[in-house]
Amino acid sequence: MGDTKVDYKIPPSQLQGGYDTSIFQFKLKNVQSLLSGPLVLSVFRKFHPPKQAIMESVIHNSLVDQ
């Protein structure tokens, strides 16, 4: 992100769920407003098909936008 002041407002904590992924929630501080809200990171398993990861990303981001 090019800014060394970026830090966690709320450090990552793992959420329950995720069949093919490990899911973490967190919040950042000292970032632009777009990234200052609650964030979710999905870490896909090693052998997860790339097309599946892209599809899931599109679905999740579309739901967030709604």
Q: What is the pLDDT of residue 26?
A: 96
Burial 12-32 (b: 16+ CB within 10 A, else e): eeeeeeeeebeebeeebeebe
Distance separating alpha carbons of residues 42 and 20, to the nearest angstrom:
9
* 8 pLDDT tier (thresholds 50, 70, 90): very high
pTM: 0.72
Q: What is the pLDDT of residue 1?
A: 57
pLDDT in tens, 21-56: 889 999 999 998 888 899 988 888 777 778 888 888
Domains in the chain: boundaries:
7-65
Q: Given the structure tokens 């809200």, which residue do they identify?
A: 37
For 65, phi then psi, to 5°, come to -65, -25
Would the pLDDT of 66 be above 90?
no
Count of Cβ atoms closer than 10 Å to residue 53 Cβ: 15
Triad 38, 42, 1: Cα angle to 5°: 60
